[in-house]
């Protein structure tokens, strides 16, 4: 798989097949261990099964894929990643891949959480920042994805407005659409924005 891609996971339990598509949160450089972020969601039968103890160590999980074009583009521009909630999964994969390639002059991460436990890997971000000179991050919170995206857009423009960057945006549709529109209005070419809608 390529960093940023997704797969469909399947569980066969109690005579029912449950399927869900999730972005791979791990780097291709560690392809023996696939990591996924599954959010608690009462409307998602797959997530309900996982959090109710329906998936235990050693259980079989069917994996279809990979799929998706949310991957690193060729080039040497500084990289800017913007994620909302579990949109951090493909972004984490892309960041780890970019770090392994050591090709980007700098990497910036902006991560919006819409619920109290939304920055579930804040310690990982801190570790990257402390260990790597070209990495910086900003964590933000807002219950509304569009409002949070507008605030993030203002923070990105204040921090990186004069830099020619490649932008990678992942999260719910309201977050992605708002951020793309506002960055585009600020002068970022569409060709430099890559986006992925996540649950």
Q: What is the mean pLDDT of the chain?
A: 91
166-171 vs 79-84, strand pairing mode:
parallel
Q: Give the global pTM.
A: 0.93
Number of H helices, E strands in the chain: 5, 8
Per residue in 91-136, pLDDT (tens digit) is 999 999 999 888 789 999 999 999 988 899 999 999 999 988 889 9
Q: Is a pLDDT exceeding 80 seen at residue 172?
A: yes
% the chain with pLDDT above 70: 98
- Kindly indicate the confidence band of residue 59, based on its pLDDT and cuts at 50, 70 and 90: confident
Longest dimension (CA), the chain: 56
pLDDT of 162 over the 70 cut:
no
11 near 61, Cβ under 8 Å?
yes
pLDDT bracket for residue 147 (50, 70, 90): very high
Supply the DSSP string of 93-145, one letter for each residue: HHHHHHHHHT--S-EEEEEEESSTT--TTHHHHHHHHHH-TTEEEEEEE-SSH
Burial of 65 (0-12, 13-18, 19+ CB in 10 A): middle
The helix-helix angle for 145-160 and 173-185 (nearest 10°) equals: 30
pLDDT digits (tens, 9 = 90+) for 27-56: 998 878 899 999 988 888 889 988 988 788
pLDDT score recorded for residue 134: 85
Do 92 and 196 contact (CB within 8 A), yes or no? no
CB-based contacts of 82: which residues, under 8 Å, 6+ apart? 91, 109, 110, 111, 112, 152, 156, 167, 168, 169, 170, 171, 179
Strand ranges across the sheet with 135-141 = 135-141, 107-113, 79-84, 166-171, 193-197
pLDDT score recorded for residue 83: 98
Bridge partner list, 196:
170
């Amino acid at each position: 798989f390529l960093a940023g891609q997704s797969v469909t996971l399947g569980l066969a339990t109690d005579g029912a097949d449950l399927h869900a598509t999730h972005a791979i949160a791990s780097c291709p450089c560690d392809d023996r261990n696939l990591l996924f972020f599954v959010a608690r969601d009462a409307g998602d039968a797959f997530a309900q099964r996982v959090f109710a103890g329906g998936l235990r160590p050693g259980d079989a999980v069917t994996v279809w894929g990979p799929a998706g074009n949310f991957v690193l583009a060729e080039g040497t521009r500084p990289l800017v990643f913007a994620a909302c909630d579990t949109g951090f999964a493909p972004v984490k994969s892309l960041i780890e891949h970019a770090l392994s390639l050591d090709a980007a002059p700098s990497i910036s991460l902006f991560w919006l959480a819409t619920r109290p436990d939304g920055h579930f890997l804040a310690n990982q971000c801190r570790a990257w920042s402390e260990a790597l000179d070209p990495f910086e991050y900003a964590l933000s919170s807002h219950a509304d994805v569009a409002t949070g995206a507008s605030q993030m857009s203002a923070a990105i423009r204040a921090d990186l407005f004069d830099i020619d960057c490649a932008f990678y945006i992942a999260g719910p549709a309201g977050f992605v659409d708002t951020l793309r529109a506002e960055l585009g209005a600020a002068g970022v070419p569409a060709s430099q924005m890559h986006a992925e809608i996540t649950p």
